[in-house]
């Protein structure tokens, strides 16, 4: 089991030649998700050699342009590639109208089925689940209705202790899956070998929480408690805390405070304002409260 996160864009407001707005590619147990889709996301996917045709679900946090304006282009490109697999899009109410209208006015007919899941709940809710992963919303506080997303691995299979398994001639390869599923092994003579003597516990399931955009909001702490990796917006430095409050964004210190309260393993800062010339100031500010902090950078890959 593993989680791999690729940062495609991590800056706020308008895209620039050296900075792209928010977008991330997440792989978790061979499931491939896109989180937000700011302008230029397609270019970033290609630039960083991400096989974006594998994306099955897209999660949009809110309907501000720096998190959304790349979506219609990506939806259209999938059709140009003659995509056949259905594509699921999760986002605030209104996202279906935005994308559908653009397609209609352009007289575009997709080669695949587009399925929208519009979100309205102000509480954390389960929005997707299969045998590999569960996805929950993280209600955030911004100028418009906004959600973060929590991705949690399911508990994996037990691990075979091959040294022990190999000592029992009756155990064949066809029995391995039953052992991984936790079943005991029944010998021909009727005796039972306990699963615990043939397998070990699976690795603890991992988790990733994405939080952008939001003002300082301790109410999210119970939802993201002890996640392995937290991305939290840090648009401003503490010297501009009043501006953060006014625009309902966070400072680097705010993000670190949330990470500390939630006892997360690692914090990633992103969504930097262009008013600052030195992004290392964000890192210095956050690390005074939460040491295990890194800065988001385009092309950064973090694997848990």
Catalytic residue among 36, 66, 228, 254: 66
Catalytic-residue membership of 131: no
The CA R_g of the chain, rounded to the nearest whole Å, is 22
Burial call 18-34: b when 16+ CB within 10 Å, e when fewer: ebbbbbbbbbbbebbbb
Tell me whether strands 3-9 and 23-28 are parallel, antiparallel or unpaired: antiparallel
One-character DSSP codes across 3-19:
EEEEEEE-B-SS-BTTB
Closest CA to 196 of 184, 209, 211: 184
Place of tokens 């939080």: 211
Which are the catalytic amino acids? 66
């Amino acid at each position: 089991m593993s989680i791999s996160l690729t940062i495609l864009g991590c800056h706020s407001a308008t895209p620039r030649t050296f900075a792209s707005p928010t977008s991330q590619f997440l792989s978790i147990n061979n499931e491939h998700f896109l989180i937000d889709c700011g302008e230029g996301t397609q270019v970033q996917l290609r630039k960083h050699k991400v096989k974006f045709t594998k994306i099955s679900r897209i999660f949009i946090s809110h309907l501000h342009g720096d998190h959304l304006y790349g979506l219609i282009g990506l939806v259209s490109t999938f059709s140009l590639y003659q995509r056949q697999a259905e594509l699921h899009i999760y986002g605030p109410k209104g996202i279906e109208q935005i994308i559908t209208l653009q397609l209609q006015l352009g007289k575009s007919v997709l080669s695949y089925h587009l399925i929208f899941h519009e979100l309205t709940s102000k509480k954390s809710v389960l929005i997707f689940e299969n045998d590999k992963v569960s996805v929950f919303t993280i209600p955030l506080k911004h100028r418009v209705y906004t959600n973060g997303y929590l991705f949690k691995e399911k508990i994996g299979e037990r691990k075979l202790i091959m040294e022990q398994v190999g000592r029992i001639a009756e155990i064949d390869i066809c029995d391995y899956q039953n052992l991984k599923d936790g079943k005991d092994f029944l010998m021909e003579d009727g005796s039972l070998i306990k699963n615990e003597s043939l397998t070990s516990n699976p690795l603890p399931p991992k988790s990733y929480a994405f939080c952008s955009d939001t003002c300082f909001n301790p109410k999210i702490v119970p939802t993201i408690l002890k996640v392995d990796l937290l991305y939290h917006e840090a648009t401003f430095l503490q010297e501009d805390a009043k501006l953060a409050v006014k625009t309902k964004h966070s400072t680097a210190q705010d993000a670190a405070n949330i990470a500390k309260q939630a006892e997360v393993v690692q914090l990633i800062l992103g969504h930097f304002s262009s008013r600052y010339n030195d992004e290392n100031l964000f890192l210095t500010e956050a690390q005074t409260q939460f040491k295990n902090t890194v800065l988001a950078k385009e092309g950064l890959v973090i694997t848990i």
